[in-house]
Structures are given as C-alpha cells and as structure tokens.
Structure 1
Amino acid sequence: IEMSSPSLKTGAYILIGVGALTMLMGFLGCLGAVNEIRCLLGLYFTCLMLILLTQIAAALVIYFHKETLKVELSDIVVDLIKNYDPSDEDKRNLQDAWDYVQTQIGCCGWIGAREWENNEILRNKSNAEYPCSCSNRSKDLVEGRGFCSLEDPVNGTATYADWPVHEQGCMDGVEQWLKDNLGIILGVCTGVAVVELLGMILSISLCKNIHSEDYTKVPKS
C-alpha cells in the first residue's frame, strides 16, 4: 500500500472495511437467527445491502475509470521495476507478488522487457543479468525471483534484446487473462450477488415471521 496511488489505497481500505463488516455481519446474522432477535436480523439485512451496493459501486468505478486506473497501476509497476532489489526485505512481499505475475502469465515488465534496463542494479552490472521471473527457460524459473546471470554477454555487457526472456509485457498479458477468464469472473460475481440477495430475502422473511408470532402470542381480551 505504501507504493500505491491514492485510488488504489482507497480501494484497499474499502476492501479491508468490507471484510471487517462481513465478519461482523455474519456474527450478527447468526445471533439474530438463533435467538430470533428482530433488530439484529434487521441490522444483518442492512449490512448485506450495504455490501452489495459497495460491490456494485466498485464495479462501476472500475468500468468508468479503467483508463485512469491503468495509468496509475503502470506508474506503480514501473517504479517497482526501477527499484527492484532482491535483498530489500521491506519490499519482499510486493516484489514476490510481481515475480509471481511475470512467472504465471509469461510476461516481462509492464509494457515490455526494456523497462528492466532502468533497474538500478542491472544498470550497474551492464545488463549482464536479467530478472529470473521473466525468463523463458524453465531452469531459471526454479528460483523464480531475483536476477539470473547471462551466460555469454559480449564484452561483459548486454541489452534487454540479449536476455532469454518473454517479449510480451504484463499489461497485455493481464488484459488477455481477463478476457480469457471473463466468463468465470462474471459467474463468480453473479453467484456472490445471488447469495447476498438470498440472505437479504431470508433475513427479512424471518424478521416478519418473528413479528407475526409476537402478535399471535398476545392474549385476546
């Protein structure tokens, strides 16, 4: 989060808030259903509705501001690549996450491998090394992080064109992955929304039943 743009920071905090609200909501819903407490069931319904509205709002923000988010994400990744240092434990998790993306998608850099030439460590070594997670050779992927040495650099120097790495940038790779898995993503989102709607319907129905039973228990004069 420290390296994130304001938009991504806001998104991260919203997700944290939604997660905390979900845990509280589950506890309240269970307690309200077991003990037939109408106010807790009403609160459970309200929390579910807020979460559903938040998810819809997030989807709309992503859809209508996708170009802005793409630019901000690009700035973050370019800065990460420039300052990538395997010995920096403070950034270890973020760097490992990026290595995982490059390894799994089979890509290098955000736009392309050339961006790695701006890395401070690689420049000091005349680009005679390259990021292992970018490699198109399976033996380099065993390590999956840090830098691998180029076997035959000319006069001890090289350029990104000499590296045995994937040519595709991760921006194109991520976009292609999203297109390939769009059906699964939409299916999961729809399934979650349906479950939330069912929870809202069941909670309000149980709340009404408790209300009706309370009236039937009142003695008639």
Structure 2
Amino acid sequence: MVADCGATCAKYILCLFNFIFFVCGTAILGVGTWLAVDKRSFIHLTRFSTLKADVEELTEPTVIEQGAYILIAAGAFIFIISFLGYCGAIKESRVLLTAYGLFIVIIALLQIAMIVMAAIYKHEAETHTKDFFQHTIRKYYTTRDRKDAVTLSWDFMMAELHCCGVKGSDDFKMATEFIKYTNQQGEGQVVPEACCKLDSKFDMAVFKPLDDNCVYAPTISNSYMNRGCYQTVYDFIISHLNVVIIVAVCVIAIQILGIIFAFCLCKAVGNERDFLYKY
C-alpha cells in the first residue's frame, strides 16, 4: 500500500476514472454482443419506443448487424484499456500500470500525429477525405427499401444538415447500388429523399419530401442539390473552431494526466517495494 500522499491521490483518481470507463465499455460491449446474437429481441423491445419512426429505420437487419460489430469493437477497446488502468491502480501492479500507460501514450501520439499530418498535408487530407466519402456513396449507398448502415448514416446527415452528397447531387449518378435498384423498380429516381426539402409535419426519419417530384427532378427550390455535405461540415467546423480546439486539448490533457498518474504510481510502488526489500 503506497504511503505517499501524491501517489495515493493518483491511485484513487485512476481508479475512479477507469472504473467509469470500465462500466461504459462493459455496457457498450454487452449491447453490441446482444445485437449480434439476438437482433429479434432488440427489435421487439425497441418497437415500444416513443420514437417509432427512428426505431424502424435503425432496426433494419443490416443496420443492426453492422452497428453491432462497431459497438463490440469500441466496447472491447474501452474495456481492455480501462481494465488495465483500474486493476493496475487498485492492485498497485507495476506491470498493468506500465501496460496502461504505454497504451495511452500510443493513443495520444497517434492523435497528435494525425493532427500534425492533417495540418501539414491539409490539401491532400481534404482530397483523400472527399474521395473516401464519395467511395462510400459509389459502392455502398442504396435505396431506402434496402437501407444499410452507410445509407442510413448518409440519409440522417443530409436531412439534418440540409445537404446532398459530398459535393452535390451529381455524386448519386455514380452510386452503383442506388442506380441499379431504382432502375429495377422502374422509378428513375435521381436523388434520395434525404436530399430534398422535407415536410416538417413528419418525423425526420421518414424522409418525406415536400415535393414528391423532387427525387425524380430535383431543383434548387425543392432540394439541396447544389449544397455538398463536405463543405457544409467544413464550414460548421470552422465556425466552431474554438470549441473543437478546446475539446481536442481537453482530451489530450486528460490522456497526459492519465499517463503521468500511471507512471507516478508505478514509480511509487517500485520505490516502496525497494524500501521494504532493504529493510
């Protein structure tokens, strides 16, 4: 048991924060596993939600399946890191504390490297980001009847931000799955419903256009065909840059404190054991 006041504070701060993250990680992992194993019970329970329209969209089988794997991966990652930190602190284990500290160091360095690289190669980063998002539309975006996680994500983003595609409605001319299924149905749909100006009387998840002809003949007056989501998001980030910087600094600061606390406690434990070994 460490006797140093500073090391004791570090111990209990690490225990507290990592216990919170441990519980959150366990919950996320549990929900993800539940969705992957038994989608039917989830759909059955969530259909009693008051947000019925949103639930029906989110409980599409492919959305559930893809979301489950994301939750499992995220939950397992948080679970492992917080487990190392909590157990290392409560048991005063130098091995676990060192492993925890090294993991946080790696994560912090990766985040800093990404920020630096994005600043240095800003133009290339923008180009690759646009190409990646356009690739998701070209390869994965489909119709509302065959909605998956990618399609649903795009639809909610376009409806919420009042935008269409990455650069504009022309992106959907290259959407292989979207074009294939609209042609099979003989509808000749040009843009998704989420690109249109939506009827506020309906829930956002319904994606009900004010003008039913919008999906076949979009115009500036009935859709957001010329307003790309990339530029919309970019403008939003620039306008809230101070908030973004504060959040980023706070996240990195918390990680640095975690590293300092972990290695200080590790050193205190080592010094105490050396002292006990000598006497």
Structure 1 partner of 2:274: 215
Structure 2 partner of 1:70: 130
Aligned-residue offset at 1:173: 1.1
Distance between the aligned counterparts of 1:162 and 1:26, measured in 2?
Answer: 50
Aligned residue type for 1:69: T
Distance between the aligned counterparts of 1:152 and 1:27, measured in 2?
Answer: 55
Structure 1 partner of 2:217: 159
Out of 159, 164, 170, which is 1:108 matched to?
164
Give CA deviations for 1:34-80 in whole Å, capped at 9, x if unaligned.
12122221122111111111222333444424122322322322444
Asked if the contact 1:108–1:168 (Cα under 8 Å) also holds between the matched residues in 2, the reply is yes
Q: How does 1:7-86 map to 2 (within 5 A)?
A: 20-63=76-119, 64=121, 65-66=124-125, 67-81=127-141, 84-86=142-144
* Structure 2, gaps ≥5 residues long: 1-71
Out of 255, 263, 275, which is 1:196 matched to?
255
Larger mean Cα displacement after TM superposition, 93-102 or 50-59:
50-59
* Structure 1, gaps ≥5 residues long: 1-15
Aligned residue type for 2:81: M
Larger mean Cα displacement after TM superposition, 64-73 or 190-199:
64-73
Give me the identity figure in percent.
21
Is 1:97 matched up with 2:157?
no
Task: Tell me the SS of whatever aligns to 1:72.
Answer: helix
Distance between the aligned counterparts of 2:213 and 2:102, measured in 1?
Answer: 65
Q: How many residue pairs end up in the alignment?
A: 199
Distance between the aligned counterparts of 1:75 and 1:219, measured in 2?
Answer: 64
CA 1:131–1:199: 2 relative to 1, 3 Å? same
CA 1:49–1:183: 2 relative to 1, 3 Å? same
Distance between the aligned counterparts of 2:248 and 2:213, measured in 1?
Answer: 49
What is the TM-score when the length of structure 1 is the normalising length? Answer: 0.72
Structure 2 partner of 1:12: none
Structure 2 partner of 1:136: 197
